[in-house]
Amino acid sequence: MSGKLDGRTALVTGAAQGIGKAIAGRLAADGATVAVCDVNGEGAAATAAEIGGSAFALTADISDPEAVAAALAEIERRAGGVDIVVNNASIVPFIAWDEVDLAHWRKLIDVNLTGTFIVCRAATDQMRARGKPGRIVNIASNTFFAGTPNMAAYVAAKGGVIGLTRALATELGAHGITVNAVTPGLIESDGVKASPHNNAFEFVEMLQAIKGKGQPEHIADVVAFLASDDARWMTGQTVNVDAGMVRW
């Protein structure tokens, strides 16, 4: 049985667990060869092994341009180049505004915004050099719309990701590269369950139009659509996936 992503290679960052792992698995199920990338090399290898098939693991800190360049070179060596990029890797804090210092701010911006830029820079250069169309999907956050407390630097960085998404869509459309963003709501991932955010589900559910706890697969399904030819006429968009918590 053929899949919508047969013959394509996808890079998913932050794919050792949670939303990234679910996205990697879904893209592989749709036929893509998936490069599972994470700063946690053992976790990336475990995810790739669980996916099986042609999936392979990469270890990279996305805020390090040399590490990202090496990862893209390895994708080119092993699979001929990247067709789909999902920028999922990020740091999700829980820090009150009065405790936010410059070091925290810079770390969040370096990983959550600059890291997305670094991956987009390297990946779209490779795509255009190959002369092939491509798909970029950036994972932002519905906290940008909600102004969620205890996350000031994170909200600012994810707002930057949305802005970058719109700008790149304009810049890259002529090359057949679409760039879209997804803004998840609160998701019951491993990282969330191990953080203070796990205590927010009851409150968030009261705000949702659809009741229940968001799952990583809910985000993976939307990313798979944006990565496919079904979304070929769609770019520069931000798709909010939070059970209707934010309506706009």
pTM attached to this predicted model:
0.96
Cα→Cα distances 227→24, 79, 128, 160, 195, Å:
12, 17, 17, 21, 30
pLDDT at 89: 98
Q: In what order do the strands lie in the sheet with 134-139?
A: 56-59, 33-38, 9-13, 84-87, 134-139, 177-184, 238-241
Distance between CA 179 and CA 197 in Å, rounded? Answer: 29
Q: Is 180 helix (H, G, I), strand (E, B) or coil?
A: strand
Per-residue tens of pLDDT for the chain, all 248 residues: 579 999 999 999 999 999 999 999 999 999 999 999 999 999 999 999 999 999 999 999 999 999 999 999 999 999 999 999 999 999 999 999 999 999 999 999 999 999 999 999 999 999 999 999 999 999 999 999 999 999 999 999 999 999 999 999 999 999 999 999 999 999 998 888 888 888 888 999 999 999 999 999 999 999 999 999 999 999 999 999 999 999 97
Half-sphere exposure of 152 (CA within 13 A, CB side): 11
Residues 6+ apart with CB under 8 A from 163: none
Active-site residues, by number, are: 154
pLDDT at 192: 84
- Going along the chain from its start, the domains and CATH numbers come out as 9-239 (3.40.50.720)
